[in-house]
Amino acid sequence: MSKIFVVADLSDNKQVAITRACELAKKTNNELHVVYFCYQSLRFIQDDSQNIKQTLIDTITLEAETSLDKMVPEEVNYSFEVVWEKHIYQWINTYAKEHNPNMVVKTAHRSETFLYTSTDWQLLRECSAPVFIVSDNKWRKSPNVLAAIDLETKSKSKQALNHQILKAAKAFSQTNESELFVCYTVPFSKVLRDLGIHFKDELESRAAKTLKPKIEKLAAEYDIPLANFTIKAGEPEKVIPSIAAKQKAGLVVIGTVGRKGLKAKVLGNTAEKILNLLKSDVLALKPE
């Protein structure tokens, strides 16, 4: 049976990620593997540091057993472990490569400075498995799904990624008996706008006309009403959350190519920027 990997949040009494993962497991017939990460620096403790470490692990293990017994429905099979690890994303990335889970589920923690990258964003950049970021502050409980794709890309890998996104979004909408919407953000330059060269309405009209055959083909292939496709010019990190709010999307499915290093810190990734404004759940997929 396939497994969903869940990152338990020790700081969250509600355990949003586990609750959402249980819902997913029931609907998709998956098992859960829940991991509780704990770590404390013990370098200044000279005596019995190993005993202190083991005591912490044993305490969390006991709490986890009690908590999971209450939270996880009887029909959902699960396993769990407590891991002593400082660099969480590295451990998860290694696990994902070795065990190939269906997805990694984690509660959203959206705070990054130039010098610090959160676990969420490291997973978006590097994790080989789909990453499901659960919102702990969702604006509305809506099952609708929004798929954000790039309709004008010439890259074969990104074209394939479009289909990955649509297949995943379609599966979620069918499982939840909800409506599926699709959006594409037309690249827009504020500089060219100020020079009187770029105008949003013209870009949108031109793209709608050019992309009509492609949209009609995708609409037929995935059984999505043409009216559910939206083309809007602007910055994706602003456009996608705006459309998600309009369509009452509880889940947004996006693709990420995962820039790394200084390039990622300076330029950023669209998927990461979107997290700043989205209050819905996010499923991020990488090219297969």
Residue 82 has pLDDT above 80, yes or no: yes
Average pLDDT over residues 29-37: 95
User: What band does 101 get if pLDDT is binned at 50, 70 and 90?
Assistant: very high
More confident residue, 145 or 50: 145
Using DSSP's 3-state secondary structure scheme, residue 215 falls into: helix
The answer to whether 67 touches 38, Cβ cutoff 8 Å, is no
pLDDT at residue 190 is higher than 90: no
Fold for the domain defined by 3-134: Rossmann fold (3.40.50)
pLDDT over threshold 50, residue 262: no
Indicate the fold that domain 144-285 takes in CATH.
Rossmann fold (3.40.50)
Q: Is residue 284 a contact partner of residue 124, using CB atoms and an 8 Å limit?
A: yes
User: What's the confidence (pLDDT) of residue 104?
Assistant: 97
Question: How far is CA 239 from each of CA 2, 40, 235, 277, rounded to the nearest angstrom?
Answer: 34, 41, 6, 10
User: Which residues, including other chains, have CB under 8 Å from residue 235's CB and lie 6 or more apart?
Assistant: 185, 188
Domain(s) of CATH 3.40.50.620: residues in the chain: 3-134
Rounded Cα gap, residues 192 and 175, in angstroms? 43
Q: Rounded to an integer, what distance in angstroms lies between the CA atom of residue 228 and that of residue 184?
A: 11
Rounded to two decimals, the pTM is: 0.88
> DSSP label at 10?
T
pLDDT bucket at 198, cuts 50 / 70 / 90: low
What stretch(es) of the chain map to CATH 3.40.50.12370? 144-285
∠ Cα 34 38 41 (to 5°): 165
